[in-house]
Structure 1
Amino acid sequence: MTAALAVQRVHKSFGATEVLRGVDLSIEPGERHALIGPNGAGKSTLFNLIAGGGRPSAGRIELFGVDITRLGPAAVNRRGLARSFQNTSVFAGLSVFDNLRCAALFAERGRGSRWRRWTHARAASTRAEQVLDAVGLGARAQVLAGTLSYAEQRALDLGLALAGGAHTLLLDEPTAGMNRAEAARAIELIRSATAGRTLLMVEHDMDAVFGLADRISVLVEGRVIATGTPAAIRSHAAVRAAYLGDGFER
């Protein structure tokens, strides 16, 4: 089976500073995969490279077997990969519905000839309505996005990726800044809304990681030191020493 996302021997240096040192990562279609590690390990840099926000110094990145190593963010997005950021990226002055409709229209705009614009606009509106319910914002459709709570804005961020039709999602700390109850609700929302899609998530909340991920990779000093199921990562001696700590189970 072709991997949904394959990172092959990726290096990234900024001047004399080597941030990524030969990262290998393979994520299967439909898999929920978490990337964890201490601050400064290179997680955000790797996310940026996968999403087209930079170029590796060496190595290759593939999306369902297609080389995307040198594509920019818009080209990567059109191939079905969407990224959320640690800070919300919604259009504050537009309604929730119009935010989602914009994302759907962007996905539709390259399909067909100009005379089909009206059909595409209608399809985008239908798609936005479907995503509203999927991310639990149906009752907030006409509210300005800038007035939503932080947790609701993160749900809208997820909705923007879904409205664009992405089959592969990169979520950067989706529960950051949330209390325990909000984080638990966010994880359940991600679980239900992304069913059938491929997910790569960077997250520091270990309850979220171990409650959602099918597999986990641990990045330390620019290298993946372990990949495995949550149970395997919990008991991995090198992971405990580098990141989780011996008291993690307690």
Structure 2
Amino acid sequence: MIPALALYGIQKRFGATQILRGVDLAIEPGERHALIGPNGAGKSTLFNLIAGGARPNAGRIDLFGAEITRLAPAAITRRGLARSFQTTSVFARLSVFDNLRCAAMLAERDRTRWWQRFSGSSTVDARAGQVLEAVGLSARRRTQAGTLSYAEQRALDLGLALAGGAHTLLLDEPTAGMNRAEAARAIELIRTATAGRTLLMVEHDMDAVFAIADRISVLVQGRIIATGTPAAIRADAAVRAAYLGDGFRA
């Protein structure tokens, strides 16, 4: 089976500082994969490379067998990979529904006469409505996005990726800044709303990691030191030694 996302020998340095030191990783279609590790391990840098925000000094990145290493972010998005950031990226002055309509509109291949399609396309409206329900924001349909709570904005951020037709999602600390109840709801939302899609998630909350991930990779000092099921990672002595002081619970 061709991996949904594959990294081969990824290296990245900034000046004389080596951040990533030959990262190899293969994520299967439909897999939910978590990337964990201490601060400064290179997780955000790796995400940035996958999404096209920067280029590696060495190595290759494939999306369903096609190389995307040197593509621009917009080109990667058009191929079906979407990234959410630690801060939300919603259109604050538009309603929740119109935010989703914008994303659904961009998923359409024919981008001519975009305003006409935005204002009157039943396909766009249907897609936006489905995602609105999937991310639990139906009651907020007409609410201005900028007035949503932080947790609701993160849910809308996920909805934008889904409405845009992404089959592969990069989620950067999706529960950061949430209280325990909000985080629990976010975990359940991610589990249900991303069903059938490939997911790579950076997260420090181990409750979220073990609740969502099928497999986990541990990045330490620019290298992946272990990859396995949650049970295997829990029991890995090297992982516990490298990450225990940064919140890892066995």
1:181 and 2:181 are equivalent in the alignment: yes
Alpha-carbon spacing, 1:148–1:45, altered in 2? closer, same or farther (3 Å): same
How far is the alpha carbon of 1:112 from its aligned partner?
Answer: 7.7
| Counterpart residue number, 1:6 | 6
In 1, the alpha carbon distance for the partners of 2:155 and 2:167 equals 17
| TM-score, structure 2 normalization | 0.95
1:70 and 2:70 are equivalent in the alignment: yes
| Counterpart residue number, 2:216 | 216
Alpha-carbon spacing, 1:247–1:126, altered in 2? closer, same or farther (3 Å): closer
| TM-score, structure 1 normalization | 0.95
| Counterpart residue number, 2:226 | 226
| Counterpart residue number, 1:155 | 155
| Counterpart residue number, 2:143 | 143
SS at match of 1:142: coil
Once the two structures are superposed, residues 28-61 of structure 1 have per-residue CA deviations (whole angstroms, 9 ceiling, x without a partner) of 0000000000000000000000011110100000
In 1, the alpha carbon distance for the partners of 2:150 and 2:113 equals 38
SS at match of 1:94: coil
| Counterpart residue number, 2:110 | 111
In 2, the alpha carbon distance for the partners of 1:144 and 1:63 equals 35
How far is the alpha carbon of 1:124 from its aligned partner?
Answer: 1.4
In 1, the alpha carbon distance for the partners of 2:113 and 2:128 equals 21
Once the two structures are superposed, residues 81-102 of structure 1 have per-residue CA deviations (whole angstroms, 9 ceiling, x without a partner) of 0000000111111100011111
In 2, the alpha carbon distance for the partners of 1:139 and 1:247 equals 37
Conservation of the 8 A alpha-carbon contact between 2:206 and 2:248 = no
Aligned residues between the structures: 248
SS at match of 1:44: helix
For structure 2, which runs of at least 5 residues remain unmatched after alignment? none
1:86 and 2:86 are equivalent in the alignment: yes
In 2, the alpha carbon distance for the partners of 1:23 and 1:179 equals 33
SS at match of 1:174: coil
In 2, the alpha carbon distance for the partners of 1:20 and 1:212 equals 25
SS at match of 1:53: coil
| Counterpart residue number, 2:131 | 131
How far is the alpha carbon of 1:248 from its aligned partner?
Answer: 2.4
Corresponding letter in the other structure for 1:6: A
Q: RMSD in angstroms over aligned alpha carbons?
A: 1.9
Corresponding letter in the other structure for 2:204: H
Alpha-carbon spacing, 1:92–1:247, altered in 2? closer, same or farther (3 Å): closer
In 2, the alpha carbon distance for the partners of 1:62 and 1:51 equals 11
Conservation of the 8 A alpha-carbon contact between 2:206 and 2:249 = no
SS at match of 1:11: strand
| Counterpart residue number, 1:122 | 122
Alpha-carbon spacing, 1:125–1:247, altered in 2? closer, same or farther (3 Å): closer
| Counterpart residue number, 2:249 | 248
| Counterpart residue number, 1:194 | 194
Once the two structures are superposed, residues 114-134 of structure 1 have per-residue CA deviations (whole angstroms, 9 ceiling, x without a partner) of 69x649833111111110000
Aligned pairs (5 A) from 1:14-25 = 14-25=14-25
Conservation of the 8 A alpha-carbon contact between 2:97 and 2:128 = yes
For structure 1, which runs of at least 5 residues remain unmatched after alignment? none
Conservation of the 8 A alpha-carbon contact between 2:105 and 2:117 = no
In 1, the alpha carbon distance for the partners of 2:177 and 2:113 equals 43
Corresponding letter in the other structure for 2:173: E
